[in-house]
Each structure stands twice: as structure tokens, then as C-alpha cells.
């Protein structure tokens, strides 16, 4: 029994109607709307012989037991950013549910291997600033001490908010128990970028998630009067920062898939009649190659010192956060490419710039791969986020093929052991 893409589209539209308003999706993790979405999702799991439960970190697991306890896991997330789109995260969850339904029918409720679907809790981190909350707890990389007192914009404390949702922050590490018998992990997601559309391709196989270096940079000059300070005598912190912002673009362009972003600039005293004496900026650098990522950071540091000297300033760096590149499994990437080619007639391999729960799973050494489907205009995290219906159909069919190929791959690995 094969999947029916129309079932997935209908569920996506129902979820949109239930949890979105005129501004977009409002399934902010740990909010009443998110809890409502999960309650709705629970009703969609009934009648197929699935087992389901919440783990200690709030991840929801749906299990189709197989002849073997060795498990293929499909995952994504129902939570959204504020004013988000109708596909980000939830496409993977609802497509995964349809795959489980089809497998249950095909194998009369007992496939050769156990197949599990997980709705990861708080992938976005949009409310409390801690992305990949549930999957990091599962992977054993949770940062409970740092996360406990996080607050949202309304002053709500994370630990207390979790408790209202039935999650004890002191026990989230127990979610690691779900690692047992996990043999492979698959995730379907919208691309959230413009690459596939620019290539006129509907689908892509994901090579891995890019590593991230995120830093705060502060240039220190001298505040002075904008009317009485000659240009040659100025120690303009903003001028140094502006030079660096432009140079960072040039540094990134020397590497095919690298991206570098200055996302925030603050000036002090920040008035029209004063030369800027202090300029704070943020830098986000990403690449799938660890050596390239290190080179990007090195060149940015060198450039910052050069421009600080040119403007008579000093510069200070402070790390905000970093994560190493996470490559996906080479054999599963090939299976993903095969599945895409069989459905779409062409495939493309690409890294993911955004982070995903799949990275936390792959970090454990579990064979992992993601499949991307084209995003119209490359837009995501916005109410206008969209993908052509025909491309969604292709994605669901290709993901079903990838699931079947992965089950065969698991059988071959088991026979070889």
C-alpha cells in the first residue's frame, strides 16, 4: 500500500485552520495553541495499531512495532515560529504519519522492522531562545543549567512553563532512553531557501547541516562632536564595523556554500550629532566543511584588527555560540538521491544552512539523512511560506520510497552482521 499525498495535504490544511490566524501559524512551543495542535495530532494516530507516548523532554513518539526491535525513526516538529508558515516542520510530521499508515496496511500491522515517528518538542526555540530543545535532550546535549531560568518576552520562566506542560526540566535527560534500538533516521523538510527553485528542481538530498560560528564584535573608538571633529582626526567605531561588514561578504564569496551574516549593529551614543565611539555587531558564519568554517573565522578576525587600526579603534571579540558541521550518512544520501530521481527525474545534493533536529540525531552516530522540497521564493518563517502542491506530492512519494529503500538497507546490514 503506497502513501496518499492528498491525506497529508488535507491534514496540513486542517492544522493550518486550527492553529493559524491572519498573520500565520501560531504554534509556539509550550503555548496553548501548540498543545492544541498536539492534541489534534493525537486524534490522527488512532485506529492503526500505533503505540504512542511522551518522553521526559516532551517529545511525542508514535511507534509501529515490527518483527525486529531495530527501529527506523522518522522525525520533524509541529511547533512554529510566531506568524510562521503552514509547512515548516509539520510537513515532515504529517508525511511521516502517512508513511506509518501505509506501512501498517502493507504489512498488516507488523513491518519487518519497528518504525517510529517523533514530533520533537520545541525545535524552533522561538519563545525561549533554546533551539532543538527536545532533540538535544534525546541526544544527551541538553544544557539544563543554562536553560532553567530562560525567560520569554513576557517574563515566563522556561522551567515553570515546562512544568505546566507536564515536563520536569530536571528529568529531560531521561529522553536519552529513546535512543535504544535506533538504526536510522529520516526527515522531510521544506528547503527554506531559494536554491532548488533557482535550479528548477523540486527536491534535493541534504548532505548535512552546516557548522556555525556566532560571535559578538565590539569596536571601541572615541565619541566626539560630529561638527567639530575633522574627518582625519576621527576614531569612528562604526566606520571600522562597516568595513568589516562589507569584507565579511567578500570572505564568504570565496567559498561556494559558505554564508556570513551581520545580523545586528548597535551604535553608541547613537545620536546624529556624535561620532560613534562604540559599535557592537553580531556575526554568524556557516559552512559544512569544518576547515572552511575555521578559515572564515580566522579571516574575519584578521580583517577586524586591520579595520580597527585603520580607523584608530580597538576591537574585542566574544563568542556567542558555535556548533560543528554535522555530515549525514553517505549511504543514506545515495538512497535519498535514488528516491528523488525515481520520482522527479533529477536530483541535487546540498547542505542545510538552518539547523534541524536531524543534526542532533546524526551527532550520536545514527545514520541520518534529510530530504528537501522546494520553497517558493525561498521564503520561510513567514505566513507567505509556500510550496507548489505538485512538489508536495512528489516530496511525499519520494520520501515514501526513501523509507522503503532504508528498510531494505537495514535488512541488508542485519544479514551482513
The three grid cell numbers given for residue 203, joined into one nine-digit string: 527536491
pLDDT at residue 5 in the model:
98
Domain CATH code at residue 218: 3.30.70.360
Helix (H) or strand (E) holding 116: strand 113-119
Spans in the chain with pLDDT lower than 50: none
Quote the CA–CA distance of 410 and 72 in Å, as a whole number.
8
pTM of the model: 0.92
**262, 290, 323 — which closes off a domain?**
323
Handedness of CA 183, 189, 195, 199 (dihedral sign): positive
Residue 62: what pLDDT? 98
What pLDDT was estimated at residue 146? 87
Extract the C-alpha cell encoding 350.
546540498
The 3-state DSSP class for residue 137 equals helix
Domain region containing 255 = 211-323
Cell of 390: 505538485
Q: Using a pLDDT cut of 90, give the percent of the chain over it.
A: 96
Whole-number Å distance between alpha carbons of 83 and 239:
35
Q: Helix, strand, or coil here: 119?
A: strand
> How far is it, in rounded angstroms, from Cα 304 to Cα 301?
5
pLDDT for residue 2: 87
What's the chain's Rg over C-alpha atoms? Answer: 23
265 and 204, same structural domain? no
Query: Do 154 and 273 lie in a common domain?
Result: no
Same domain (yes/no): 302, 167: no
- pLDDT attached to residue 354: 92
Do 162 and 284 belong together in one domain? no
Query: What are the tens digits of pLDDT across the range 315-365?
Result: 999 998 888 999 999 999 999 999 999 999 999 999 999 999 999 999 999
Rounded distance between C-alpha atoms, residue 414 and residue 209, angstroms:
28
Of 305, 323, 341, the last residue of a domain is 323
CA within 13 Å, CB half, 10: 7
Q: What is the pLDDT of residue 344?
A: 98
The per-residue pLDDT for 417 is 77
Write down the residue that cell numbers 505538485 correspond to. 390
Q: What is the pLDDT of residue 398?
A: 98
Q: What is the CATH number of the domain that holds 167?
A: 3.40.630.10
pLDDT tens digits, residue range 99-147?
999 999 999 999 999 999 999 999 999 999 889 999 999 999 998 988 9
Kindly write down the DSSP assignment for every residue of 249-270, as one continuous string: HHHHHTSTT-EEEEEEEEEES-
Q: In 144-222, at which residue ranges do the beta strands (DSSP E only) sit?
A: 182-190, 203-209, 211-220
The answer on 168 and 62 residing in a single domain is: yes
How many whole angstroms separate alpha carbon 301 and alpha carbon 68? Answer: 52
Amino acid at each position: 500500500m503506497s502513501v496518499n499525498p492528498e491525506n497529508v495535504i488535507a491534514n496540513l490544511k486542517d492544522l493550518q485552520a486550527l492553529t493559524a490566524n491572519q498573520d500565520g501559524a501560531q504554534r509556539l512551543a509550550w503555548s496553548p495553541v501548540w498543545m492544541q495542535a498536539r492534541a489534534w495530532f493525537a486524534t490522527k494516530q488512532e485506529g492503526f495499531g500505533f503505540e504512542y507516548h511522551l518522553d521526559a523532554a516532551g517529545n511525542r513518539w508514535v511507534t509501529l512495532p515490527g518483527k525486529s526491535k531495530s527501529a527506523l525513526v522518522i522525525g520533524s516538529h509541529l511547533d512554529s515560529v510566531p506568524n510562521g508558515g503552514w509547512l515548516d516542520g509539520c510537513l515532515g510530521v504529517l508525511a511521516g504519519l502517512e508513511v506509518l499508515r501505509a506501512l501498517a496496511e502493507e504489512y498488516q500491522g507488523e513491518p519487518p522492522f519497528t518504525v517510529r515517528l517523533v514530533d520533537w518538542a520545541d525545535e524552533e526555540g522561538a519563545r525561549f531562545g533554546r533551539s532543538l530543545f527536545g532533540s538535544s535532550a534525546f541526544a544527551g546535549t541538553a544544557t539544563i543549567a543554562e536553560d532553567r531560568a530562560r525567560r520569554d518576552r513576557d517574563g515566563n520562566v522556561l522551567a515553570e512553563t515546562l512544568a505546566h506542560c507536564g515536563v520536569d526540566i530536571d528529568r529531560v535527560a531521561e529522553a536519552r532512553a529513546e535512543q535504544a534500538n535506533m538504526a536510522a533516521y529520516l526527515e522531510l523538510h521544506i528547503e527554506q531557501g531559494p536554491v532548488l527553485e533557482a535550479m528548477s528542481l523540486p527536491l534535493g538530498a541534504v548532505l548535512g547541516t552546516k557548522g556555525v560560528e556566532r560571535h559578538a564584535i565590539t569596536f571601541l573608538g572615541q565619541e566626539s562632536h560630529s561638527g567639530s571633529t575633522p574627518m582625519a582626526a576621527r576614531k569612528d567605531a562604526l566606520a571600522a564595523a562597516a568595513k568589516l561588514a562589507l569584507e565579511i561578504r567578500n570572505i564568504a564569496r570565496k567559498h561556494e556554500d559558505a554564508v556570513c551574516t551581520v545580523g545586528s549593529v548597535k551604535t553608541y551614543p547613537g545620536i546624529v550629532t556624535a561620532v560613534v565611539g562604540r559599535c557592537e555587531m553580531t556575526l554568524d558564519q556557516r559552512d559544512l566543511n569544518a576547515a572552511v568554517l575555521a578559515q572564515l573565522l580566522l579571516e574575519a578576525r584578521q580583517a577586524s584588527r586591520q579595520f580597527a587600526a585603520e580607523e584608530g579603534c580597538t576591537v574585542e571579540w566574544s563568542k556567542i555560540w558555535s556548533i560543528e558541521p554535522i555530515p549525514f550518512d553517505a549511504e543514506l544520501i545515495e538512497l535519498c538521491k535514488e528516491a528523488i530521481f525515481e520520482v522527479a527525474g533529477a536530483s541535487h545534493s546540498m547542505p542545510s544552512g538552518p539547523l534541524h533536529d536531524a543534526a542532533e540525531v546524526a551527532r550520536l552516530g545514527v545514520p541520518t539523512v534529510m530530504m528537501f522540497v522546494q520553497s517558493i521564493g525561498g521564503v520561510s518563517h513567514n505566513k507567505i511560506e509556500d510550496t507548489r502542491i505538485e512538489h508536495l506530492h512528489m516530496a511525499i512519494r519520494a520520501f515514501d520510497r526513501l523509507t522503503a529503500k532504508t528498510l531494505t538497507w537495514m535488512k541488508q546490514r542485519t544479514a551482513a552482521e
